[in-house]
Structure 1
Amino acid sequence: MNNQSIEFIMAGRRQRRRRWILVTSLLAALACLLCCAMLLLGSTIYPVSDVIRALTGEHLKGVSFAVNTIRLPRMLAGLFAGFAFGLAGYTFQTMLRNPLANPNVIGITSGSSAAAVFCIIILHASGAIVSIASVIAGLATVLLIYILSKGKTFSVGRLILIGIGIQAMLDAVISYLLLVSAQQDIPAALRWLTGSLNGSGMQELPPLIITVIVLAPIVIVLGQHLSILELGEQSASSLGVDTNKTRVLLILSSVCMIAMATATTGPIAFVSFLSGPIAKRLAGAGFSGVIPAGLVGVNLVLASDLIGQFAFEYRFPVGIITGLLGAPYLIFLLIRMNRRGEL
């Protein structure tokens, strides 16, 4: 390879790096703007100075309660849950080399949801118990899907089909729990199942925040190997990647984050499904899309929540808005994959 070819390759790499940095910076800036909007906007729009004073501990009548008790927890829940959904969705889609292989479609979210609904309706539990049950159920669902799809050789298509079947079964369990539950418990369970930031409290957020802070760096660091894993088992091993260890750590970290996010906000529809494709389209190839996907997840959740609060006559939970965005893309993706013979 001559010097001209090397320089051409390096120039392309520099261009891709500049694009990745620009896109990531813009996504981060948009996320910051949306966080500010979540704190400023509501039934009453407060000045920036009053919001800052309330956040720094100064007591202002009306402002302190609205900002610190209602808007700040809502914003933090959307921020950390959106980042968790985005990271986990991108990880599964890239690692399994299929855009349908995300926690929403293959049943992982439904496993966490079924456990959480059981705790809420049957055990009348909340907080840490719901979070722990969601994580355990999410891991158990992953293990069950993997065992059933393994066979003689591992097949992504088989895993997706089995995951869809498991999801249908778990959705039936959730429906049964709603049927046998007490009348007064149904509204709370339905609001939670829709995926909502309503009613988020600071006391519920520490498990989610700690989980994301601890596990997100693991996914970001190991996410650099995702593009190598896409090349296949033998190619990745020959390039020095411990494929088994990398997959296990990525799966465990992603499932724990998405289960904890689901326990906190409910299964916000299609965020994990949309974040990866949008991040790849914006950031381009050549560099890890883990961080852009997480930021896309944050922007989707926060923007959808603001739309649900202020764009219509009635206020809608964030899950309804993300569902309206994600459902047409899912149909488009299924049609495109069918034409390519990938289904």
Structure 2
Amino acid sequence: MRTVVRAAGLSVRVYPRALIVGVVLLLVALATALVNLTTGDFPVPVAEVLKSLAGEGDAGTDFIVYELRLPRVLVTLLVGAALGASGAVFQSLTRNPLGSPDFVGLTTGAASGALIVMLIVGGGGVQVGAGAIVGCVVTAVVVYLLAFRRGVHPFRLVLMGIGVSALLEALNSYLIYRARLNEAVAAQVWLIGSVNGRGWTEVVIVAVTVAVLVPMVVYFGRHLKLLALGDEMAVLQGVPVERSRAVLALAAVGLSAGATAAAGPIAFVALAAPPLAARLSRSPSSGILPAAAMGAALLSAGDWAAQHALPGNDIPVGVVTAALGGIYLTWLLFHERRGARA
């Protein structure tokens, strides 16, 4: 069921259930973020956190909220949203539930770029983020060129992505093997994916990425359902196929690159968020914004679990998302097998 809203000469198709699901998921993500702001070595009541956010808190509370916790919480929300939106685009373009940045090699390529900066160039901070973005973009170009043969077939794109990802995993392992012990440990922690210790620099990186690319993805995302029907059908409906596909793919690559630059290669959020949002909205496809909201909610909940899973030990959120992703993949394979038998 959909509703067409017309205003100022523009018409927008609105799917009420998807809209409601997206709003609810956004509220869940914000509520979880608020809980994360209150918990830590120095618990702060919700009322005090809200006063601090409103500019009426005392100096001690402001320091805890603005300097220690708010950057981490914002990075968590924005990275989750970026991964959710990126995963929705890739799964729609490839017509494959495994067509996410995790499986087509983008996050591995971003990790390779970051490791080269960390372990060979000796850079840190913003330089590592820039290396991750460059690595992600270069990997995307390589996968596209390898998969191109009179066009890009979705299945071939996924297979090439998996192959390139395996090669890059070998490169990453070699880079860590040849590094000094302290460098290798730091690199391995970064590879897990973590929002621990993230500051305002990372917030700016991922916030600019989301602010620029999500509106672009939403605008061109109108064509995703028609593209899924095939190029000929999309052309008959007046869709600029190659331009739409190129813009969507580049924007999705940018979202994945910005998220990885800010928090490392956090696994399975981009894979799981779109189909989970689609199930809640009872739609064959999730829609960009519900998937982004689901990604933000999943990563916020995962960060809360990471802080409380082991008392006194704040583990990287990538450990939690990897565990949840393994459960999700097992369920997905079981569901597909049962459907095939039926």
TM-score w.r.t. the length of structure 2 is 0.90
| 177-186 vs 152-161, greater mean Cα deviation | 152-161
Match of 1:254 in 2: 252
Tell me the alpha carbon deviations over residues 109-162 of structure 1, each in whole angstroms, 9 at most, x when there is no partner.
100111011112222223332233222221221121121122345322222122
1:52 deviation in Å? 3.3
Residues 241-265 of structure 1 deviation map (CA, whole Å, 9 limit, x = unaligned): 1011111111111111111110110
Distance apart, 1:18 and its partner CA: 2.8
Aligned-partner residue type, residue 13 of structure 1: R
Given the superposition, is the C-alpha separation of residues 288 and 339 from structure 1 closer, same or farther in structure 2, using an over 3 Å criterion?
closer
Task: Tell me if the contact between 1:93 and 1:101 (Cα under 8 Å) persists in the aligned partners.
Answer: yes
Letter in 1 for 2:323: L
Unaligned runs of 5+ residues in structure 1 are 1-11
After TM superposition, give the deviation of residue 286 of structure 1 in Å. 7.6
Q: CA deviation at 1:335?
A: 5.4
CA–CA distance in 2 between the matches of 1:232 and 1:201? 44
Shift of 1:60: 3.3
**Structure 2 counterpart of 1:324:** 323
1:82–1:294 CA contact under 8 A, matched in 2: yes
Distance 1:259 1:62 in 2: 35
Name the structure 1 match of 2:143: 145
Q: Quick one: distance in 1 between partners of 2:286 and 2:196?
A: 33
Identical pairs, percent: 36
Cα distance, 1:324–1:237 mapped onto 2, change above 3 Å: same
Other structure's SS at 1:205 match: helix
1:43-192 superposed matches below 5 A: 43-56=41-54, 60=58, 62-152=60-150, 154-192=152-190
Measured in 2, the distance between the counterparts of 1:305 and 1:151 equals: 42
Shift, 1:339, TM fit: 7.5
Runs of 4+ in structure 1 deviating by more than 6 angstroms, as ranges, are: 338-341
Match of 2:21 among 20, 23, 29: 23
* Paired letter, 2:295: G
User: How far off is 1:216 after superposition?
Assistant: 0.7
CA contact (8 A) 2:107 2:265 kept: yes
Aligned pairs for 1:280-295 within 5 A: 280-285=278-283, 289-295=287-293
- The residue number in structure 1 matching 2:11 is none
Task: Give the Cα–Cα distance (whole angstroms) in 1 for the partners of residues 67 and 179 of structure 2.
Answer: 30
- CA offset at residue 55 of structure 1? 3.4
Q: Is the 8 A contact 1:224 1:288 kept in 2?
A: no
Could you say what secondary structure the match of 2:174 adopts? helix
1:13 aligns with 2:12: no
Distance 1:130 1:105 in 2: 22
CA distance in 1, matches of 2:286, 2:107: 24
CA contact (8 A) 1:87 1:291 kept: yes
Cα deviation, residue 181, structure 1: 1.2
Q: Confirm or deny: 8 A CA contact 1:269 1:326 kept in the other structure.
A: yes
Q: How does 1:189-228 map to 2 (within 5 A)?
A: 189-228=187-226
Give the structure 1 partner of residue 233 of structure 2: 235
Aligned counterpart in structure 1 of residue 304 of structure 2, from 306, 314, 327? 306
* Letter paired with 2:192: T
Structure 1 contact 233–243 (Cα < 8 Å) conserved = yes
Retained in 2: the 8 A contact 1:283–1:289?
no
Give the distance between the partners of 1:135 and 1:235, measured in 2 at CA: 35
Deviates more, 1:332-341 or 1:191-200: 332-341
> Partner of 1:122: helix, strand, or coil?
helix
Deviation at 1:315, TM superposition (A): 2.9
1:268-297 C-alpha deviation (Å, 9 max, x unpaired): 110000011001101122886110000000
**TM-score (norm. length: structure 1):** 0.89
Cα 1:211–1:72, aligned 2, differ >3 Å: closer, same or farther?
same
**Alpha-carbon contact 1:114-1:170 (below 8 Å) kept:** yes
Query: Which residue identity does 1:51 align to in structure 2?
Result: V
5+ residue gaps, structure 2, are 4-13
Counterpart-to-counterpart distance in 1, 2:216 and 2:84:
15
Q: CA RMSD in A?
A: 2.1
Q: Is the 8 A contact 2:305 2:320 kept in 1?
A: yes
Change (3 A) 1:161 1:335: farther
1:73 and 1:205 in contact (8 A); partners too: yes
